[in-house]
Amino acid sequence: MYDMNDAEPQRSSDLIPDGTFAKVTMAIRKGGVDGAGEIDKGLLKASQSSDAMMLDCEFTVTEGPLIRRKFWQMFTVQGGKLDEQGVSIGWKISKGAFRAMMESAQGLDPDDMSEGAKAKRVLRGLSDLHGISFIAKIKIEPSTNPSYGDSNRLERVVLPNEPEWKKVMNGEAVPPAPGHRPARPAPAARPVPQPAWNQPAMKQPAGQAQAPAWAGAPPQQQQSAPQPAAAKAAGPAWLNT
């Protein structure tokens, strides 16, 4: 027998409101591709459309009214588009986000470049980021594929020198601050086929009988809307909590 009386209520499938500030914990879902070191063995996930390697990350809200709500995001750590120096542009963006996560998690001033602060920004490998908790601003990203709905993404990491960081850390309610969301592209206009009886009469060569209206020229072919291209050493503090 299964007693369902103590089952949790159904969770809403609604998105986290745009511009929400919340404390989140990041988990890395292994993708089976080895990273640079032994600690990152099997950690990365290969892109299906390029040579990029990524971290497949799951974020879970840990406090407040949205507790246990989740969203997901990929971070490029190798490959993809390169800058003029041949460095992965995606990795440069991800590296900045990872540094901000570490500063937010440890209450570290981003302008503090003392030796002690620098040491707190060093990882043994990217797998050290698994389990890190920090303050995030969450956005809603409009879908570009009509087959899928909108989704939540990490807009940015909230740093200790921002007022929202201290408020969320103290358990205070912070109202969402929605960003400027790009307008969803309008669907391509489709010509409306006209019935045969509304078509202009076709001139027939002399001596030929005119066909009846219902046998006139076929309606215009509809244009399809464009489809998008489908024993470990001691680690960081958050690993020891």
Residue 218 lies in a domain: no
CA 84 to chain CA mean position, Å? 26
The string of pLDDT tens digits covering residues 90-149 is: 999 999 999 999 999 999 999 999 999 999 999 999 999 999 999 999 999 999 998 889
- Which pLDDT belongs to residue 121? 97
Residue of 122, 129, 125 whose CA lies nearest to 39? 125
Residue 110 lies in a domain: yes
Question: Global pTM?
Answer: 0.73
Between CA 119 and CA 183 the distance in angstroms is 43
- Which pLDDT belongs to residue 32? 96
Residue 103 lies in a domain: yes
Residue 232 lies in a domain: no
CA dihedral over 100, 104, 110, 116, signed as positive or negative: negative
- Which pLDDT belongs to residue 184? 54
- Which pLDDT belongs to residue 115? 97
Q: How many domains does the chain have?
A: 1
- Which pLDDT belongs to residue 223? 45
Residue 240 lies in a domain: no
Residue 56 lies in a domain: yes
- Which pLDDT belongs to residue 3? 85
* Beta-carbon-side half-sphere exposure of residue 202 (alpha carbons within 13 Å): 15
Low-confidence ranges of the chain (pLDDT < 50): 201-202, 204-205, 208-231
Residue 231 lies in a domain: no
Q: Are 32 and 45 in contact (CB under 8 A)?
A: yes
Residue 213 lies in a domain: no
For 108, the domain range is 20-179
Residue of 73, 71, 81 whose CA lies nearest to 15? 71
